[in-house]
Amino acid sequence: MDVMEAVKHSLIIYTSFQEQKTMQSKEFKAIAVHPRQYFIFGVCLSQYIQTVPKLVRMQCQNLILFQGNAAEAEIYTETYCPPNINKKDFRKVLDIAWQKTDECKHSFLHIVRGCPIETRFRRNFDVIIDNTHNRDTNVVTVKVDLTKK
């Protein structure tokens, strides 16, 4: 039996980032930076990205960003726009991700930081937004079948 299989894993959901003292503690930072060493999967919920400590934001492998105000969109652009994509094109990615449809009134941008640029940005979980090929015309979107194994 693998050691990882024998150890219980924990899910921690952080929902209140108003308590700055807790977020600055060495225990919180240790869990945020090294969750695998503690067999923890952490989920941070926050209305504003700036309330989550930078150390925690930089360690996240998956980000789910809902549409906010223009200032939040600018922060997302400054922080998560890849170097080979200009800011105007990245704003198109945000617009596509947040586009409301009859099926989904509250769509979101899902950033999978471990993936290559071509598949890193998604509308919800199932639509890949790839703007690396068609930069001057339209952003390409590709539907992904999540039921395949």
The pair of structure tokens assigned to 116 is 């290559």
pLDDT digits (tens, 9 = 90+) for 109-137: 999 988 988 889 999 988 899 876 555 44
Q: What is the pLDDT of residue 5?
A: 61
84 pLDDT tier (thresholds 50, 70, 90): confident
What is the Cα–Cα distance from 59 to 94, expressed in whole angstroms? Answer: 21
130, 138 in Cβ contact below 8 A?
no
Q: Would strands 40-44 and 10-14 be described as parallel, antiparallel, or unpaired? A: parallel
pLDDT digits (tens, 9 = 90+) for 35-73: 878 788 888 778 788 877 788 888 888 899 999 889 999
* Between residues 66 and 30, the one the model is more confident about: 66
pTM: 0.75
What is the Cα–Cα distance from 8 to 50, expressed in whole angstroms? Answer: 32
Average pLDDT, stretch 102-108?
88
Q: What is the pLDDT of residue 1?
A: 45
128, 117 in Cβ contact below 8 A?
no
* Between residues 9 and 6, the one the model is more confident about: 9
Residue 25 has pLDDT above 60, yes or no: yes
Average pLDDT, stretch 5-31?
74
